[in-house]
Amino acid sequence: MFPRLHIVTDSLQVVRAAVGQGPVAIQVRVKTSDRAAYELTVEALALCRAAGAMCLVDDRVGVALAAGADGVHVGAEDLPVAAVRRVLGAAAVVGATCRAPEAARAAVAEGASYLGVGPAFATSSKDGLPPPLGAAGIGAVADAVPGTPVIAIGGITAARVAQLPGYGVAAISAVARDPAAGTKSLLDALADRLDGADRHDVADRLDVADRLDVADRLDVADRLDGVDRLDGVDRLDRADRLDRADRLDRADRLDRADR
């Protein structure tokens, strides 16, 4: 299953702590050089492989390819999704940053495996970000690409997970102070959200079943009522014919007696 929690980091310590908590994807984000990004990715990938976690590289397609990572996440100013897909091949995971339904549909059409959408909330983890989308904005993108995982990013905390639609979340500062505890808290929040969604789904299905059951019983009652009415008509019809027969028989006997 595609991970619902993505940890964006440039710290091997964070990677080591996060992959031991449950199903996560690590996004290696290094702002310095390709060489530094490559070296960190190689080490992070070894930890991810041992834990069965996914390892992605932010922005740097060449680093992802050289290190043998599972894929890459590209932003709006990076290589186009279609070009990344051609370079990495059909099996690679390719994530794309989107903010609007139209861009989301275009990215998926070009081959995006999942979408990173945000910022969901106000955040200081990156400079120059546009205004927060909020839950409604995340939901609009998710609705535009059914079947494609939408990962909300920006200002993510465990307390905010329940507010967000979409498939999952990506965290940066939420795991920086205590990577193990932060990761576990986010995974628990995602599990609680799924559990709540399942309960709502079951309740909806039971409600539909109840309504169908009532409809079925009403339909049966209507049909029985119709049968009763028809039966009553048949009985009245038989009684009327018998009454007419009796009258004709009496008239016939009287006529013979007169003769």
Full DSSP string of 17-32:
HHTTSSSEEEEE--SS
**Is residue 228 domain-resident?**
no
- Alpha helix (H) residue ranges in the chain: 12-18, 34-51, 61-67, 81-88, 101-110, 134-144, 179-258
Determine the structural domain holding residue 102 and report its residue range. 5-196
**Is residue 225 domain-resident?**
no
Q: Name the packing angle between helices 134-144 and 101-110 (round to 10°).
A: 40
pLDDT given at position 126:
73
Number of domains in the chain: 1
Tell me, yes or no, if the pTM score tops 0.85: no
**Is residue 217 domain-resident?**
no
Residues 6+ apart with CB under 8 A from 16: 47, 179
Cα–Cα distance list, 195 to 28, 59, 128, 135 (Å): 30, 34, 36, 19
Q: Which tens digits make up the pLDDT trace of 121-174?
A: 998 777 778 999 999 999 999 999 999 999 999 999 999 999 999 999 999 999
Q: Name the packing angle between helices 101-110 and 81-88 (round to 10°).
A: 20
**Is residue 209 domain-resident?**
no
In this prediction, residue 59 has a pLDDT band, given cuts at 50, 70 and 90, of very high
**Mean predicted confidence (pLDDT) in 188-211:** 65
Q: Which CATH number characterizes residue 189's domain?
A: 3.20.20.70
pLDDT of 200 above 50: no
Cβ-contact 72, 86 below 8 angstroms: no
Radius of gyration of the chain (CA): 34
Dihedral angle sign, alpha carbons of residues 151, 154, 160, 165: negative
Q: Which two tokens stand for residue 202?
A: 């079951």
Q: Which residues pair with 171 in a beta bridge?
A: 7
**Is residue 156 domain-resident?**
yes
